[in-house]
Amino acid sequence: MNSGKKPLLEVKNLKKYFNVGPRQTLKAIDDISFNIYKGETFGLVGESGCGKSTTGRVITKLYEPTAGSIYYDGKDITELDRKEAQNYTKKVQMIFQDPYASLNPRMTVADIIAEGIDIHKLYRGSDRQARIYELLSMVGLNEEHANRFPHEFSGGQRQRIGIARALAIEPEFIVCDEPISALDVSIQAQVVNLLEELQESLGLTYLFIAHDLSMVKHISDRVAVMYLGAIVELAPSKELYKNALHPYTQALMSAIPIPDPEVEASRKRIFLSGDVPSPINPPEGCKFQGRCQHVMPICREKTPELVDQGDGHFVSCYLYNK
Amino acid sequence: MSAIELEKFKPIGMDIEDSERITRPSLTYWQDAWRRLKMNKLAMVSLYVLIGIVIMAIIGPYLRPYTFDEQDYMEIFSPPSKDHWFGTDDLGRDLFVRVWMGARVSLRIGFFAALIDIVVGMIYGGISGYFGGRTDDIMMRIVDILYGIPYMIIVILLMILMEPGELTLIIAMSITGWVGTARLVRGQVLQLKNQEFVLAAKTLGASPWRIITKHMFPNILGIMIVQMTMDIPGAIFSEAFLSYIGLGIKLPNASWGSLASDGIKQVVERPWMLIFPAVMISLTMLSFNILGDGLRDALDPKLRN
Amino acid sequence: MAEKLLEVNDLKVSFFTYAGEVQAVRGVSFHVNKGETLAIVGESGCGKSVTVHSLMRLIPSPPGKIKEGSIIFDGIDIISLSEKQMNEVRGSKMGMIFQDPMTSLNPTMTISQQIMEGIMRHKDVSKKEAFEEAIRILELVEIPNARKRANNYPHQFSGGMRQRVMIAIAIACNPMLLIADEPTTALDVTIQAQIIDLMKAIQKKMNTSIILITHDLGVVADIADRVNVMYAGEIVESGTLNEIFYDPYHPYTWGLLESVPRLDMAEDKPLVPIPGTPPDLLDPPKGCPFADRCKYAMVICKEQHPEMTSCSKTHKVSCWLTHPDAPKVERPLGGMKIE
């Protein structure tokens, strides 16, 4: 895919299992591969428990992968020494989901934003102060806010503080782990627009994790759809929304209500029966077989490969991989 | 509707600065907790009682012209009077002075035993909870074992091995006292470990030391203060009990426990010898417990709104 | 024509905190007709939850207090009822579905017990009859193998199934009004679609009125008949579904509609966020509460509160732009309808 360009981040056959009991393994990520190129926004969508957040956490080294490798700028991040690892944290940052839990309630906003600056000893004294003010204004807040505590802010303001914290050490790559799902719609647009502006002015690359497909479509260049720890479809975002191939992607898209009464009234839904099965001891073969309308015998035997259907549109489904 | 001047309809656009302004006064966690505590009348009374006791422990012995070990055989067993406010004991020593000298010993033991519990418990529990896995397994098994040893046996053993006195009492109480705190802290740390602000610090490259001291301890400090206010009366009571059975402070030094122990022998004829130290012990314990409850309500983040 | 089931007039609810009086709901009036779905939309903190909690008299007091106004439900004045009378109304005539299906069920009771609890309190039936009724309701909310699963505990159900159980509890006594407080916010989209569909089916079957609180305009477009838009403790615009989506008057409503991305549009329209933050209701502005964030704000907006103006029989808005002397602005949502 995108041959010729070198990926900034390369995820290869990544697996992350958790032991959750005697002879029980939770397969949070089960063999996924994708590339992210410099300057793009790569969306990762799926329902809760599909492994999208775990993927983000493995990339930011909060979790060690069970198998597989992640190359950043050509280097395997699982084999970094201490100094390289410290360097890596300066390049790869994360924005978290819950604006209430992601800020330490006992620290002032200035200290929260300056955390990375202090850890990596980037600025001191009045330079540190100036940098904090600069970061605050970058995210639409001002100096007055610096000495206040997180609980005094609204959700959207807190999320912007979280963004300022991540930006403080001038990262190149930011994992946005559901940064807007806890926010009100009007505030979501604020945060998304801010992320887009920052991407443009600072040349950032994003991995944007969310369950809201309409927002992911809006912000991403390419989107991967995850289901039970596997990527079922990966395509440029416009292509995906125009021409979804995988039955799961189709169902997911049809489940999203459109804020337009007439469209809503005339729309047909593909209903998925039941719930997402547990990632503990998932089924053999295609992960989606239990809820798929088009299930075939082969789906129960072997996991379908993620195959290119042209123009960088990959799908992992036997309907297309004859 | 009365007519409105046309110029009032001049567009002025939005004022974002104004909408981002925070109008509420800035309250830190501690200011907010203090505000809540102040609303709790009973806890505030307890706080004042305790402050009174501490002040008296400091200045009380100097209010009278006697020292704590000055014997006056002309004044043996004299009941409370103008000269001896709390009366005197079997050697004619002034009980007012002795009660406040005893307060110093009892409060010191209570405070330091509780402090050591908290410090050791926080470090031990913090390390165990933060690193988890095998470290946690091993450290918690040690705690289990310590928990299983009857604490009285350790105290009595220590009292035999070491010189009886204040220091020995503090060590004896701390040697097993911290395990409860360690468990509490470990539980808190396990909870905090997966909070997003801790994960955020990790992705910024924070060292375990920084995470434990900057992110975890400040968030469990409130609970620790409550724990300490609950621990102090426990230690004071243990001291009183040990002194009472003769394993504590040695004469002529006094603590509330040893004074009560002396008093019980004379309880029928000279009740004042028991009443004053006993009232002090009860008042202190009660005040600490009520204050502890008040602090728990004031510091509990779940009740904040 | 339509019969009013609920009428709320000038409702004011405040919370008395250490910092002062937080005016969470500031004079809200609306009604719900029999068999219709009213959606209340707005940002968090706009008072939509407090409003419906007041209908059920679920405002914790202290610090909360219903200061003024009347709530007439099925001819009964809710505010004047005693706590005991209110208990009769709750559950039997009004049911409520909460946001979080994980915490709103009692983990130590089987789901049939939890459904039977309400039935036995409000209806004169034997335990066996109540159980049969519980099974019937579980089947109604499409729980597979209802009879077998009735004796399971909540933790044995998935999130979506738990929300179905919550709905079952809420409708157990055939309430006339079902209040749903963000019923799908905690759920995945595919499950959300199932739950919304279920609510529609139940409404059809039982002719229940529904008040739906949500911030998801997609859900509103899917299920609502009428919409109230709330901001800073007030209703700023109310109208039928089509009026709110295709003919909105209030700049805040425009803002809400413009700030959501659309999955069905091939070409991306830029998202237009509503900048800034809603006012603190501890000290609400004396003029229009939205003025600071409003592109079209005028001098008067900051000084004087706009009155509710009717745009049609069903459509009301509280904005100075509707004043005849106000400058004409082009409404940005002319192109909201596609094709």
Q: Tell me the per-residue pLDDT of C292-330, one tens digit each, with 9 for 90 and over.
A: 888 888 888 888 899 898 888 899 999 998 888 888 887
Mean pLDDT (whole number) for B15-33 = 75
Q: What is the mean pLDDT of residues C48-67?
A: 87
Q: In chain C, what residues touch A48 (CB-CB under 8 Å)?
A: 159, 188
**A77–chain C nearest CA distance, Å:** 32
| Rounded distance between C-alpha atoms, residue A31 and residue A305, angstroms | 11
Residue B59: domain span: 37-69+86-303
Distance, first Cα to last Cα, chain A:
21
Tell me, yes or no, whether B116 lies in a domain: yes
Separation CA B105–CA B257 (nearest Å)? 10
Residue among A179, A182, A154 at smallest CA distance from A165: A179
Percent of chain B past pLDDT 90, that is, above it, reads: 17
Q: What is the DSSP string of C119-137?
A: HHHHS---HHHHHHHHHHH
Write the CATH number for B270.
Answer: 1.10.3720.10
Mean pLDDT along residues A152-161 = 89
What's the gap in Å between the CA of B40 and the closest CA on chain C?
Answer: 13
Residues 6+ apart with CB under 8 A from A79: none
Report how many domains make up chain B.
Answer: 1
Would you state the structure tokens that stand for residue A237, as one six-digit string? 């975002």
Q: Which of residues 14-43 of A touch B (CB under 8 A)?
A: none
Q: How confident is the model at residue C162 (pLDDT cuts 50, 70, 90)?
A: confident
CB-CB neighbors (< 8 A) of C218 in chain A: 256-259, 264
Touching B (3+ Cβ pairs <8 A), the chains are A, C
List of chain B residues whose C-beta atoms are within 8 Å of the C-beta of residue C292: 14-16, 18-19
State both tokens at C47.
């008072």
**What rounded mean pLDDT belongs to chain C?**
86
- Interface touch B9/C326, C-beta < 8 Å: yes
Which of C73, C79, C63, C71 is CA-nearest to residue C18? C63
pLDDT of amino acid C58: 86
What is the spatial distance between Cα B122 and Cα C149, in angstroms, rounded to a whole number? Answer: 46
Q: Report the greatest alpha carbon distance in chain C.
A: 68
First to last CA, chain B: 41
Q: Which residue from A217, A250, A219 is spatially nearest to A233, judged by alpha carbons?
A: A250
Does residue A2 lie within any of the structural domains? no
A250 CB neighbours in chain C (<8 A) are none
pLDDT at A56 over 70: yes
Strand partners, C13: C25, C66
Query: What is the reported pLDDT for C333?
Result: 63
DSSP C21-59: EEEEEEEEEEEEETT-EEEEE--TTSSHHHHHHHHTT--
Question: Does a structural domain hold residue B197?
Answer: yes
* 3-class DSSP assignment, residue C181: strand
Residue type, B29: Y
pLDDT in tens, B166-183: 888 888 888 888 888 999
Answer whether the bond into residue B150 is a cis peptide, omega within 30°. Answer: no
The answer on pLDDT for C229 being more than 90 is yes
- Over residues A92-125, the pLDDT tens digits come to 999 998 888 899 988 999 999 999 999 998 988 8
Domain total in chain A: 1
Give the least confident one: A110-124, A159-173, B287-301, C239-253.
Answer: B287-301
For residue A1, tell me if it sits in a domain. no
Please tell me the distance from the alpha carbon of residue C135 to that of residue C146, in angstroms, as a whole number.
Answer: 6
Q: How far is CA C173 from CA C138, C170, C259, in A?
A: 13, 8, 40
Q: What is the pLDDT of residue B2?
A: 53
Give the sheet arrangement for strand A67-72, strand by strand.
A24-36, A9-21, A67-72, A75-76
Asked if residue B10 is part of any domain, the answer here is no
pLDDT at C220: 92
What pLDDT is stored for residue C60 in this prediction? 83
pLDDT at C190 over 70: yes
What does the pLDDT read at residue B302? 55
Q: Are B130 and B212 in contact (CB under 8 A)?
A: yes
For range C132-161, the mean pLDDT = 86
Distance of alpha carbon A155 from alpha carbon C148, whole angstroms: 43
CA distances from A127 to A108, A114, A282, C69, C166 (A): 18, 11, 53, 55, 55
Interface of B with A in 139-168 (CB under 8 A): none
End-to-end, the C-alpha distance of chain C in Å comes to 34
A34 within domain boundaries: yes
* E strand or H helix that includes residue C19: none
**What DSSP state is assigned to residue C298?**
B
A271·C193 Cβ contact <8 A: yes
pLDDT at C337: 40
Residue B305 scores a pLDDT above 50:
no
Lowest mean pLDDT among A306-310, B54-58, B200-204, B250-254: B250-254
Residue B189 lies in a domain: yes
Confidence (pLDDT) at B154 = 80
* Contact list, B35 vs chain C (CB under 8 Å): 18
Reading phi first (left if > 0) and then psi (alpha if -120 to 50, else beta), residue C45 is in left
CA distances from B15 to A260, B188, C259, C287, C297 (A): 30, 43, 19, 14, 9
Per-residue pLDDT reduced to its tens digit, A247-266: 999 988 888 888 888 888 88
The residues with which A208 forms a beta bridge, in sequence order, are A43, A176
Find all residues with CB under 8 Å of C12, minimum gap 6, and list them.
C23, C25, C26, C27, C28, C66, C67, C68, C69
Q: How confident is residue C230, by pLDDT bands cut at 50, 70 and 90?
A: very high
Those of residues 168-207 in C touching chain A at CB distance below 8 A are 188-194, 196-197
Instruction: Tell whether the model's pLDDT for residue B221 goes beyond 90.
Output: no
pTM of the predicted structure, to 2 decimals: 0.84
Pair A241, A250: CB distance under 8 Å:
no
pLDDT at C318: 92
Looking at residues C211-215, what average pLDDT do you find? 91
CA dist A271 → A210, A247, A263, A293, B143 (Å) = 21, 11, 17, 10, 54
Question: Looking at the domain assignment, is residue A143 inside a domain?
Answer: yes
- Residues of chain A in contact with residue B301, where contact means CB-CB under 8 angstroms, are 105
User: For C242-252, what is each residue's pLDDT tens digit?
Assistant: 999 988 999 99
pLDDT of residue A322: 62
Q: Which domain holds residue A183?
A: 9-315
- Give the CATH number of the domain where residue A153 resides: 3.40.50.300
Task: Kindly list the strands in the beta sheet with C64-73, ordered across the sheet, starting from the edge strand earlier in the chain.
Answer: C20-33, C4-17, C64-73, C76-77
User: CA of C258 to nearest chain A CA: how many angstroms apart?
Assistant: 9
Residue C266: predicted pLDDT: 62
Helix A185-202 with A155-167: angle, nearest 10 deg: 20
Q: Which residue has the higher pLDDT, B91 or B50?
A: B50
pLDDT digits (tens, 9 = 90+) for C82-135: 888 888 888 788 888 888 777 788 888 888 888 888 888 888 888 888 888 889
Identify whether B5 is part of a domain.
no
Tell whether the model's pLDDT for residue B59 goes beyond 80: yes
Q: Is residue A158 part of a domain?
A: yes
pLDDT at B148 over 80: yes
Q: State the average pLDDT over residues A17-31.
A: 86
**Beta strands C4-17 and C177-181, pairing class:** unpaired
**Are C26 and C12 in contact, with CB atoms under 8 Å apart?**
yes
Q: Across all residues in chain A, what is the average pLDDT? A: 89
Q: What angle do CA B122, B127, B133 make, to 5 degrees?
A: 140
Q: Do A263 and C264 touch (CB under 8 A)?
A: yes
| Distance, CA of A237 to CA of A35 (rounded, Å) | 15
If you measure CA to CA, which chain B residue comes closest to A141? B20
- C-alpha–C-alpha distance, residues C103 and C115, integer Å: 16
**In-domain check, residue B75:** no
% pLDDT > 70, chain A: 98
Q: What is the pLDDT of residues A185-204, one digit of tens each?
A: 878 888 999 999 999 999 99
Which strand ranges, in their side-by-side order, compose the sheet holding C234-240? C94-97, C177-181, C209-214, C37-41, C226-231, C234-240, C316-318, C308-310
Asked if A141's CB is within 8 angstroms of B20's CB, the reply is: yes
Cβ within 8 Å, pair B19-C275: yes
Cβ neighbours of A282 (radius 10 Å): 18
Joined tokens for residue B238: 């243990």
* Contact present, A209 and A53 (Cβ < 8 Å): yes
> What does the pLDDT average to over B125-140?
90
**Residue A43 maps to a domain:** yes
Closest-CA residue of chain C to B27: C19
Mean pLDDT across chain B: 83
Question: Strands (DSSP E) along C165-288, which ranges?
Answer: 177-181, 209-214, 226-231, 234-240
Alpha helices in B77-165 (DSSP H): 95-131, 133-148, 151-161
Which chain B positions have a beta carbon within 8 Å of A62's beta carbon? Answer: 199, 202-203
Task: Render the burial of C51-74: b for 16+ CB within 10 Å, e for the rest.
Answer: bbbbbbbbbeeeebebeebebbbe
The confidence score (pLDDT) of residue A155 equals 86
β pairing state of A67-72 and A222-227: unpaired
Tell me the three state secondary structure of residue A1: coil
What's the pLDDT at A4?
Answer: 56
Facing residue for A93 by CB, picked from B21, B203, B304: B203
Q: Which of residues 195-254 of B touch A (CB under 8 A)?
A: 195-197, 199-207, 210, 214-215, 218-219
Q: Write the residue in C190, C191, C260 that is nearest to A185 by C-beta.
A: C260
pLDDT for res C29: 93
Residue A135 counted as domain residue:
yes
Q: Is residue A309 one of the residues assigned to a domain?
A: yes
